[in-house]
Structure 1
Amino acid sequence: MTQSPAPSASGVQPLLDTDVLRSFVAIAEHGSFTRAAKAVFRTPSALSMQIKRLETTLGKNLFVREARRVQLTEHGELLLRYARQLLQLNAEAVACFLAPKLEGTVRIGTPDDVGTRILPQALGEFARSHPAVQVDVMTGASRVILERLDAGEIDLALVTAGNLDVQVERGEIVHTEPLVWVGRADGTARLREPLPVALAEHGCAWRADAVNALDRAGRPYRVAYSSEHSAGQRAAVEADLAVAPLPRSLANSPLLEIIDEPKMPALVDTHVALVIGAHCAEAGKALTQHVRAAFRALRRN
């Protein structure tokens, strides 16, 4: 039943409390009052009272309460979008006045596929919080990016790492997703023998994982196309020249589909590691917070 909004004696619209919005977002993301209470350091009963007051203020039911979890109603989903924006604006406003002003230059290196998915959001938020910091972005293969980090040419590195990649131990895993076989939706490349594959250059974790999987399965294959960038692999697949091992999130073209067939050997998860250079300054460390937040947003979407 839809609730009636609480009347306002002054006729002025009520303001949304950021503390209540923070609790609301935690419940929505955890799907449970109990787990959300631990995340925001409150009791489940305190959160329940906050949500009841919020629902009364807005005159809408925000959650459907089930036996084992809670789910957002249509109005709850709408409020979630606003709540995240309001909390972000609140954090930026507070940081503008209270956070120490950062200046200087941050140099970050990343493969192109990671950069195009993460950096637009991360750099946009970082620029609003720290407008005096200049960011230089360098793209390249993970191996080259790590070499430049070790040489002191960049401050931060985002690198791809598979289960067989020892470099994963150097940094913090900030994202994990399945590596999958991708082919053209109406294509025939997957039917050819030996199997034509489009791979990244030598040293790439995706290439090593795919080749190992094919070898273990005894599936005959040939490298039909090789590219430093994932865009080149996708182009070869869209042209039906080959199939390719790609992270699931990159199989997002109408022309592409994930191949789920017994003849295609299973692939491992692929990871993105954040590696911080030995001489990274405070501005670079501040950027890492926005990078982590951008990956959390990617997982939610």
Structure 2
Amino acid sequence: MEKIFPLSKNACTLVALVQSMSIVFVGIALAREPGLPGDEEFIYLPRLRAYQAADSEFYAQFLRLCDLEVAKLKDENSKDPFFIDSYGIRALCAAYDMTGNKKYLDAARSWSERMVRFQEKMIPAGAYYMNYGRKPGEPKGDWYVADCSSIAMGVLATAVRCNGTEQKRFLNSVQHFASLVMKNYVRPSGGVTDGLWPEFDEEWWCSSALFGSLSFLLYKNMGDERYLNVALGVVDWLNKLDLSNVQQPLPLSRQGPAMPMYVLEAYSAGWQYMSKDSARRKPRLLKSCGA
């Protein structure tokens, strides 16, 4: 089975890609850093209100895209990989923060519950189903840390906006996935392999960056130092790579802007933990560009 990846020859349809990428950049720009109820460290609503006032057309278009995503998520027979949905989920969480409209959070909750139900039947335990590759209950087939880290971030973004038993269920799901990866796929170098991918069994830029991003967000929410240590280890590993000339599958020459998007997501998620450490603030990709 050939790996599905954004901007590769086996990417999803153009319509799905354009929709998901539009939501990716707007959602990441507007979504607050997840924090559990009662966490007042990150005051985000004034910033969201400023976006609304500064460009009402942009704000309206963002909500129109979110409405399309709500409708899309109702199709449980969709063949789109779930990692694409996960970026839409994070955008819906931002839309809920901005408007208070529960339809956005309810869509995210419904999707997250589906992810957890699939996860409960997956082998290995803790893995997420990607909507392709290894299916729930199957002992064989490809399964990728990178895709599932994106799914986990969607579930986490939903969890921190829920309460009670539901919040605990979603948080436990994400922690179960993180434990699976930390025990089996985080290497002493700090890099992360991509799970059960026969083509490449070494540390990979994409799985490292996405699991690093998830680890920063888990530390933010759970306060467990293990997550921070893993995330900083990922950053140190990424900083040793020349990402503009990486000798790994799916390099910059093939992936184009997808590579810096994924890699820099890890840096943006962990910026507050790296802001005083100049050695960690610049990935080699930026250094090679003279940044």
Bin the TM-score by the shorter chain. under 0.3
Q: TM-score, normalised by structure 1?
A: 0.24
Richer in strand (by share) = 1
Q: TM-score, normalised by structure 2?
A: 0.25
Higher RCO, Cα 8 Å, sep 6+: 1
Richer in helix (by share) = 2
